[in-house]
Amino acid sequence: MSNIILLGITSLLTDISSEMVYPLIAVYLSSLGATPAIIGLIEGVAESLASLLKVFSGYFSDRIRRRKPFAIFGYSFSGIGKFLLYLSTSWHLVFFARVFDRFGKGVRTAPRDALIAESSDGNNRGKSFGLHRAMDTLGAAAGVLLAYFFMTVWHGGYKTVFLWSVVPAVLGVIVLFFVKEKRRTDTEQVRGTDAKPKISFGNFKYLNKKLRWFLLITLLFTLGNSSNQFLFLRSKNLGFSAANIILLYLVYNIVYALVSYPAGVISDKIGRKKLLVAGYLFYGLVYFGFAFASAKIAIWLLFALYGLYSGLTEGIEKAFVSDVAPAEQKATMLGLHATIVGIGLFPASFLAGILWTQLGPEAPFIMGGLTGILSAVLLLFLI
């Protein structure tokens, strides 16, 4: 459990850093002259890069049977990305800063999640991932509050927030050095040598049937799951200031943090599937809400419900993959899940930008609502 706590603290500090800047990126890019299509392109490329890297970092982590070095390298790289964001003066430089930041996330995520899975067992795996997500999201809420403080009480600008975000990023890397990586026994190493992970499309059909269907449904869901930057842009479109957008994101993170741990505990008792179906359904309804909402009070409620969706799905998805993945390929499968998300993430965000520009701000949210509800139905009947 000490590893879970330490990894949670690392994620808490890193998310303080990340979420100080994340809700400001879309409005900052707008101030630099970036259009919704450009914002979609930047976020699509950056997030897709992160997700595409996860399967390879997971694969190499399984090959050399080490997790911690990948995690340290990835968290360090994300800190560099925050500093580059501080140095940016045009949307082109923001693009490179986001790529650096997301590159770090891509390298660290699968090995870190494998560390969590290997530090727990099947009876409390949902609880462990839920606790980690709760600490991660608590950091996100703190980061949002700090951003609001620097933008209002401190009377700073975007660059003030970006510079201060580097501090918790560095602290998070320091904490990670105290994590103790599990050493495999000789028996486990021999078994791992005989069943080294391989990455190929031909191997997909040999995956556990539940895992195979889940990965395909995840791909469909992701095609309608554009970057959260469009939620912030939609809020700005409906009259919210940059400071109030930060508070909207705070509401989301508070609900997310409160739901994550109980959801993980419940999933250990009743199974992962029921919570995932509910989460995808909530997502679809929330996105339809963003498409048609006009009153500001509705936006506050929608951000809260969006936090409920995240709390019901983020940690549970990883616990589900950990449950059905072969022991010697756990990091690879966790990375594969994240990579499949990445395959759909770029077209989702880029298409959302095009739909917004050509058909209006409601269009990308209607598409997201449809894919969310369809994914919930498929998950209910196919897994």
Six-digit token string for 265: 């505990």
**Domain count within the chain:** 1
Residue 53 CA, distance from chain mean position: 14
- Is 201 part of any domain? no
Q: Where are the alpha helices (DSSP H) in 65-124?
A: 68-87, 91-118
Q: Which tops the pLDDT comparison, 123 or 95?
A: 95
SS3 category, 348? helix
The span from the CA of 44 to the CA of 95, in Å, is 10
Structure confidence at residue 327 (pLDDT): 73
Residues in the chain, how many?
Answer: 383
Please report the beta strands in the chain, taking only residues with DSSP state E, as ranges in sequence order: none
- CATH of residue 22's domain is 1.20.1250.20
- The 10s digit of each residue's pLDDT in 230-252 is 999 899 889 898 888 888 988 99
- Residue 187, pLDDT above cutoff 80: no
Domain residues for the domain of 374 are 2-180+208-382
- Is 317 part of any domain? yes
Q: Which residues contact 10 (CB under 8 A, 6 or more apart)?
A: 71, 75, 172, 173, 175, 176, 179
Radius of gyration for the chain, computed over Cα atoms and rounded to the nearest angstrom: 20
Q: Tell which residue, 112, 101, 132, has the closest CA to residue 20.
A: 101
Structure confidence at residue 126 (pLDDT): 79
- The 10s digit of each residue's pLDDT in 96-152 is 999 899 889 888 888 888 888 888 766 777 788 888 878 888 888 899 889 889 988
The span from the CA of 4 to the CA of 26, in Å, is 33
- Residue 189, pLDDT above cutoff 70: no
- Is 193 part of any domain? no
SS3 category, 266? helix
The span from the CA of 343 to the CA of 210, in Å, is 20
User: Where does residue 238 fall: left (phi above 0), alpha (psi -120 to 50 degrees), or beta otherwise?
Assistant: alpha
- Is 310 part of any domain? yes
- Is 373 part of any domain? yes
Q: Determine what percent of the chain is predicted with pLDDT higher than 90.
A: 33
Q: At what angle do helices 209-223 and 363-382 cross, to 10 degrees?
A: 170
- Please answer whether residues 248 and 299 qualify as being in contact, where contact means their C-beta atoms are separated by less than 8 angstroms: yes
- Is 187 part of any domain? no
User: To the nearest whole number, what is the mean pLDDT of the chain?
Assistant: 85
- Residue 341, pLDDT above cutoff 60: yes
- Is 197 part of any domain? no
Residue 234 CA, distance from chain mean position: 20
The span from the CA of 75 to the CA of 371, in Å, is 32
- Please answer whether residues 365 and 287 qualify as being in contact, where contact means their C-beta atoms are separated by less than 8 angstroms: yes
Structure confidence at residue 210 (pLDDT): 83
The span from the CA of 234 to the CA of 269, in Å, is 38
Q: Which residues contact 171 (CB under 8 A, 6 or more apart)?
A: 13
Q: At what angle do helices 125-151 and 296-324 cross, to 10 degrees?
A: 150
Structure confidence at residue 165 (pLDDT): 94
- The 10s digit of each residue's pLDDT in 14-60 is 999 998 998 888 889 988 888 888 888 888 788 777 777 877 888 88
- Please answer whether residues 127 and 111 qualify as being in contact, where contact means their C-beta atoms are separated by less than 8 angstroms: no
- Please answer whether residues 349 and 47 qualify as being in contact, where contact means their C-beta atoms are separated by less than 8 angstroms: yes
- Is 119 part of any domain? yes
What letter would DSSP give residue 181? P
Structure confidence at residue 186 (pLDDT): 44
